């Protein structure tokens, strides 16, 4: 009996030593892999925007307008959990069911479409989970530079027409951006999926000249966006 207990104790001790050794080796391999992992990444992204305008003193407000977004990004990771990125993109925003009233007596609803250059400096924090996927949260300021707007009017008298509406909005739409996403390691690249919300802060209604055809209330933008991106590491091993 004593011999059996000694043998069993020896086997347990050997198994423990082997397990500890294997764990140490795996930790060293992981540390080595992390030390050679690229911290810099560049990539492309595209997605769908759903935008509307928050209009003060108007009960009905506006309705969601669909749009597209496409651009580039560069990201630098400080460590496995925190990173910063800069995004530059062409983006469409705007709103439907905007009230239109002209001096010529043409009234109706309009689809106001804004084309922007969007710049987003963001900070990103990964959620610590043990998974092949890497979920993360991000936030930061967002700058929309309006450069080309169009209005598509559906008149109550049956008259439908479009017009240039670039002068109807201010050139800068300042906002805050928050969102969540997940990274998938494809070995040669990183596939990214995210959902984000952009909250406009300043009034973008120009209210000059014929711009009053859409009223003089304040306009602030809101946008939901669903993005897919592909990032390529630079450097590392």
Higher pLDDT, 161 or 16: 161
Does one domain contain both 8 and 54? no
Residues 2-6: what's their mean pLDDT? 44
* pLDDT at residue 6 tops 90: no
Does one domain contain both 74 and 18? no
Kindly report the CATH number assigned to the domain that includes residue 129.
Answer: 2.40.160.20
User: What are the pLDDT digits (tens) for 165-218?
Assistant: 898 899 999 999 999 999 998 888 999 999 999 999 999 998 776 667 888 889
Does one domain contain both 174 and 86? yes
Does one domain contain both 20 and 51? no
Rounded Cα–Cα distance for residues 110 and 106 (Å): 11
pTM, two decimals, is 0.80
Residues 133-149: what's their mean pLDDT? 95
Q: How many domains does the chain have?
A: 2
* pLDDT at residue 63 tops 50: yes
Expressed as residue numbers, the domain containing 101 is 38-234
Tokens 């959620």 belong to 127
Res. 129 pLDDT band, cuts 50 70 90: confident
Nearest CA-CA partner of 124 in 72, 87, 91, 175? 87
Res. 58 pLDDT band, cuts 50 70 90: low
Does one domain contain both 104 and 17? no
Residue-level length of the chain: 237
Look at residue 62 in the predicted model and tell me its pLDDT.
Answer: 84
């Amino acid at each position: 009996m004593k011999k059996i207990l000694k043998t069993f104790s020896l086997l347990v001790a050997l198994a423990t030593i082997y397990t500890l050794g294997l764990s140490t080796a795996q930790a060293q391999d992981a540390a080595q892999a992390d030390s050679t992992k690229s911290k810099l990444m560049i990539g492309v992204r595209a997605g769908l925007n759903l935008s509307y305008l928050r209009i003060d003193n108007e009960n009905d407000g506006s309705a969601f307008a669909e749009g597209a977004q496409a651009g580039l990004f560069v990201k630098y990771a400080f460590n496995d959990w925190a990173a910063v990125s800069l995004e530059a993109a062409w983006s469409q925003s705007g709103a439907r069911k905007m009230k239109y009233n002209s001096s010529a007596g043409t009234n109706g609803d309009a689809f106001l479409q804004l084309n922007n250059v969007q710049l987003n400096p963001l900070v990103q924090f990964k959620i610590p989970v043990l998974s092949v996927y890497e979920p993360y949260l991000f936030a930061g300021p967002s700058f929309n530079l309006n450069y080309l707007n169009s209005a598509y009017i559906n008149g109550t008298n049956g008259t439908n027409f479009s017009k240039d509406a670039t002068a109807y909005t201010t050139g800068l739409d300042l906002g805050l951006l928050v969102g969540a996403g997940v990274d998938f390691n494809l070995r040669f690249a990183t596939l990214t999926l995210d959902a984000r919300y952009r909250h406009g802060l300043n009034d973008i209604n120009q209210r000059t000249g014929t711009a009053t055809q859409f009223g003089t209330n304040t306009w602030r933008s809101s946008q939901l966006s669903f993005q897919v991106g592909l990032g390529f590491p630079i450097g590392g091993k």
